[in-house]
Amino acid sequence: MSVTQLTRYNGGKRDAIIAAAKKSKAIHEKAGAEAFRLGQIYTGPHAGQWVVSTRYPDWETYGKARQALASNAAFQKLMAEVDAMIEVVDRVLIVGVDL
């Protein structure tokens, strides 16, 4: 069963967010993510906000990735830069159901 982390952000300049997401994608994939996607919400009450989706194949890989990211100096520096330009407004974990 997959584990997907969805994080919703508010604010920021488009080019800077895309550049940061590209760097973050490489780091997450090296840590074990199967997929890393950035999108912008275009309709509804959260229009204009950004969403980052990171998918892992299982809880074990998710846990190992979180540990690796917590001790990765490049990732911590990048997150400090991201936190200075946008605000996290929501984060959820979704556990996939194998059908």
40-92 pLDDT, tens digit per residue, is 999 999 999 999 999 999 999 999 999 999 999 999 999 999 999 999 999 99
Contact criterion met (CB below 8 Å) for 88 and 11 = no
> Which two three-digit tokens encode residue 7?
């994080």
Task: Give the DSSP H/E element, type plus range, for residue 51.
Answer: strand 50-56
Contact criterion met (CB below 8 Å) for 29 and 42 = no
Looking at residue 98, its pLDDT comes to 85
Domain definitions of the chain by residue range: 3-13+22-88
What mean pLDDT comes out for the span 22-40? 97
Q: 89-98 as b/e, with b when 16 or more CB fall inside 10 Å?
A: eeeeeeeeee
SS3 12: coil
Q: Which residues contact 60 (CB under 8 A, 6 or more apart)?
A: none
User: Of 3.30.365.10, 3.30.420.340, 3.30.70.100, 3.10.270.10, which CATH number belongs to 3-13+22-88?
Assistant: 3.30.70.100
d(CA 16, CA 6): 20
d(CA 54, CA 37): 7
